Structure 1
Amino acid sequence: MKKTTLALAVLGVMATEAHAQSSVTLYGIIDEGVQFLNNSGGTTGGKKVTLDSTSGINGSRWGFKGSEDLGGGLQAIFTMESGININNGQFAQGGTAFGRQIFVGLNSTKVGSLTFGRQYDSITYFLQPVTSQGAQAGSTLFIHPADLDNTGNSLRLNNSVRYMSPNFAGVTFGGTYSLGGVAGNTTANSGYSVGAAYSNGPILLGAAYEYFKNPTSATAGSGFFTSNANGASVLANSLNKGYASATAYQVFGGGAGYTIGSLSLTTSYTNIQYANLSGAFAGGTARFSNVDVAAKYAVSPSLFVMAAYDYLKGSSVTQANGQSVGNQHYNQVSLMTDYFLSKRTDVYLEGAYQRASGTSSTGAGAVADIGNLGDSTNNHQFAIRAALRHRF
């Protein structure tokens, strides 16, 4: 009897261990290219040629992701993903060790997932797939000027809580809240984003909204614009550099995609605001509107060609002295061809041309700036990238 009881107990433990299945996956992408800018570095710059592994279709990265089956359709999940610069071995995202994302949480097949950590915002999950860069798989040369609306994943949310719903007949939705962590002020350096998408056959729809209070922080690694470990603000170039004093930032956008055989089409619109500008702006608001259209055509199962057009308009802001700045216009055309050598390895060639006009946020003449790669020496800029990408 004792032997039978012991045998049953052992079988019970084994059954429990078999039920609580877990897995851990190591993965990554190396995207290395030769990149050329005909004008870069502002008024003292010129032509620039670099080896680049952080501005491609997929910024180079490596990471771990895993899950544990807790039973009843519930899982414990985690992801640890680091951006890397393979040319010097340093971390990407301003030297942030796991700068792309790192989170832990629970996932339910019935009610969705709840995760905690450094994470992507709702714009990435719901709006980016219907933009020219996200839907057509272009690199930095396809993102909206200066990535003002974060549809190019320039920024992540630290100290964040994120909910993502299951798929309800093609409808998904979610939201993320980032805690500010400022003593005595529970809303400073905090923000949130929400979004939703619908996918059904050839149709894809997406929309998202994001708001951040005090997006620029004096503490490195906090706030929104300064969320990377080095504390450098993404408001570094003339298109939006003058608006670093904004105490509120918001983005709203929506878009649609449609696939017809081998051809996929997308279009999106975003509205960006830098509100409550201090100093010479005396509480004013800088507003931008961005529209893009893009097309991707599969010539064969292994060869794709892509094209996109983007237009960005910045409305003028009047300073206390009566001077108006920020009346800017940006036109950008991007082209790309991508050939897959295998399921995991491809080579691609892309180019972009951008032309700016008007007055920048600093009050000087507007200059071109493709993908936040750096101010041009004048109002036009051309960039080209030839790259090899490998997934593992």
Structure 2
Amino acid sequence: MKKSLLAAALCGAFTMSAHAQSSVTLYGLIDTGLVYTNNQLGHSNWQLGSSSTQNTVFGLKGSEDLGAGLHAIFKLEQGFLLNNGAQAFSGSAFGSQAWVGLQSDPYGTLTFGRQFDVMNDLVGPISSSFNTWGGSIAAHPFENDNLAANSVVINNSVKYASPLYHGVTFETMYSFSNKAGDFANNRSYGFGLSYAQGPLNLAAGYLQLNNAGNGTGAVTTGDTSANFIAERQRIWSLGGNYTFGAATVGLLWSHTQIDNVAGVFSFGTGSYLGATDSSAGTLAGSLRLDNYEVNAKYALTPALSVSGAYTFTHGAYNGSSPGWNTAMLQTDYAVSKRTDFYLEGVYQNVHGAPADSVLSHAMINTLSPSSTNTQVAVTVGMRHAF
């Protein structure tokens, strides 16, 4: 009898130990609000918006301790639109993220699946468009440098992230075309490096997309991940921020080269300039864009903050030199650790672009293009994390 009781106790102890070493967590974020735009497709517009600042998602993430500092990890995440329940990434069950991998305390993390690119991981946090205090609606024109809050997701990717070493983190990734006989068609690769020590944070990165939007490769148009249809898109970025007590100030530069570009996409609704579906318009030739951003955030109290950003984007397209001015201002009030309310305004103006091309029309990210060179959007919203 005593042996039976001892065996049962040991069995229970091992079971409890196994449960303690693995975990699965349900999590999510909901972002919704009312958005007023002075000009969308030639008309002012009031709309119930979703994900103006952060992606609205729910997901599962888990970890299992394999011993010796090694963990099996996974994440499955679905993005959706709160106003109608539709998938944010059309046709994808877990369009926001779907990956599995191994995490080693001394050697780093290796993951496989549909993931955010390495430049978004490391340089993105310096941009206002990545953070809750600016968000997707504050992105650079056409979200040309992939720095906004997790808007471009890469398929078929293998990603390595180093452990933190004296404040330095390194990431690299490669994404396969998954197409027989066409290895280089619609593939992607990149790397990023960051340094964080005390109040200082620095980061740099490079990302290349080859023939994005073609078939079922690294970046596709079918799930709205592709921002441009082009033979090749190369992005360099460099930035940093510094925290002074309650204030954080950041500077960021990114350079995007888009070769043999055919079209650019908008995440707003409706067609424009002869394009169809969610496309904002057609292009032809090469497009170069340099983004120069300065941003700041100040915590007035632990619950109340104000933030702002200004980006000048200099372009070169078929002999023209278009320029964009994009400005953002936000105030945010947190009523708890998981719930906050925000009021945000974004202004964009474009000049110097060829007349009647998509580049000559202002287009704030997540919204349909303006019929003029200016667009203003104001949103009041609520976020809740769980």
Partner of 2:25: 25
Shift of 1:10: 8.1
Q: In 2, distance between residues paired with 1:382 and 1:151?
A: 21
Q: CA deviation at 1:314?
A: 0.9
For 2:209, the aligned partner's letter is: F
Change (3 A) 1:33 1:136: closer
Contact 2:283 2:357 survives alignment (8 Å): no
Q: 1:368 and 1:276, CA in 2 relative to 1: closer, same or farther beyond 3 A?
A: closer
Q: 1:334 aligns with which of 309, 312, 328?
A: 328
Q: Matched residues in 2 for 1:382 and 1:143: separation? A: 14
Q: What does 1:111-260 align with in structure 2 at a 5 Å threshold?
A: 111-135=107-131, 137-152=133-148, 153-217=150-214, 219=215, 221-226=216-221, 228=223, 233-235=226-228, 244=229, 246-260=230-244
Within 5 A, what are the aligned runs for 1:364-383?
A: 366-383=360-377
Q: Which amino acid aligns with 1:174?
A: E
Render the CA deviation track for 1:298-356: whole Å, top value 9, x for unaligned. 00000000011011111132xxxxxx45x210001110000001111110000011111
Aligned-pair CA distance for 1:169: 1.5
SS in 1 for 2:119: helix
TM-score by length of 2: 0.88
State the Cα distance separating 1:247 from its structure 2 match: 1.2
Q: State the match for 1:269 in structure 2.
A: 253
* CA 281–40 in structure 1, closer or farther in 2 if over 3 Å, else same: closer
In 2, Cα distance between the equivalents of 1:174 and 1:86? 33
Task: Report the residue type matching 1:189 in the other structure.
Answer: N
TM norm structure 1: 0.86
The one-letter code sitting in structure 2 at the alignment partner of 1:137 is W
User: Judging changes above 3 Å, is the alpha-carbon distance between structure 1 residues 16 and 113 closer, same or farther for their aligned structure 2 residues?
Assistant: farther
Q: CA deviation at 1:73?
A: 0.8
**In percent, how many aligned pairs have the same letter?**
39
**Contact persistence 2:30–2:51 (CA under 8 A):** no
Report the CA distance between 1:95 and its aligned residue.
Answer: 4.2
Query: For the residues of structure 1 that align with 2:218 and 2:110, how far apart are their CA atoms?
Result: 22
Contact kept in structure 1, 2:156 and 2:218, CA below 8 Å = no
Which residue identity lines up with residue 250 of structure 1 in the other structure? R
Q: CA, structure 1 residues 168+78, in 2 after alignment: closer, same or farther (shift >3 Å)?
A: same
Q: CA deviation at 1:154?
A: 2.1
Alignment correspondent of 2:275 = none
Tell me the amino acid that sits aligned with residue 268 of structure 1.
L
1:289 matched to 2:286: no
What's the counterpart of residue 34 of structure 2? 34
- Counterpart CA distance in 1 for 2:368 and 2:385 is 28
- Would you identify which runs of 4 or more consecutive aligned residues in structure 1 move more than 6 Å? 3-6, 278-282
Post-superposition offset of 1:30: 1.1
In the alignment, the residues of structure 1 paired with residue 192 and residue 199 of structure 2 have an alpha-carbon distance, to the nearest angstrom, of: 20
Q: Are the aligned partners of 1:155 and 1:225 in contact in 2 as well (CA < 8 Å)?
A: no
Shift of 1:187: 1.4
Tell me how far 1:161 sits from its aligned partner.
0.7
Question: Which shifted more, 147-156 or 3-12?
Answer: 3-12
Q: Deviations over 1:197-247 (max 9, x none)?
A: 010111000111001211131x2x43425262xx68534xxxxxxxx3x31
Instruction: Judge conservation of contact 1:308–1:335 (CA < 8 Å) in 2.
Output: yes
Structure 2 unaligned spans of 5+: 264-281
Specify whether residues 361 and 190 from structure 1 end up closer, same or farther in structure 2 by C-alpha distance, changes over 3 A only.
farther
Deviation (angstroms), 1:193? 1.5
Say whether the 8 Å CA contact 2:73–2:101 is kept in structure 1. Answer: yes
Q: What is the one-letter code of the residue matched to 1:391?
A: A
Structure 1 gaps, min length 5: 236-243, 318-323
**Preserved contact between residue 118 and residue 156 of structure 1 (Cα < 8 Å):** yes
| Contact 1:136/1:295 (<8 A) preserved | no
Contact 1:166 1:172 in 2 (8 A): yes
Mapped to 2, the partners of 1:250 and 1:365 lie a distance apart of: 19
**Offset of 1:277 from its aligned partner?**
5.1
Partner Cα separation in structure 2 for residue 251 and residue 259 of structure 1:
27
2:385 aligned to 381, 387, 391, which one? 391
Residue 133 of structure 1: CA displacement?
1.8
Q: CA RMSD in A?
A: 2.7
Aligned residues: 366
Distance 1:154 1:273 in 2: 19
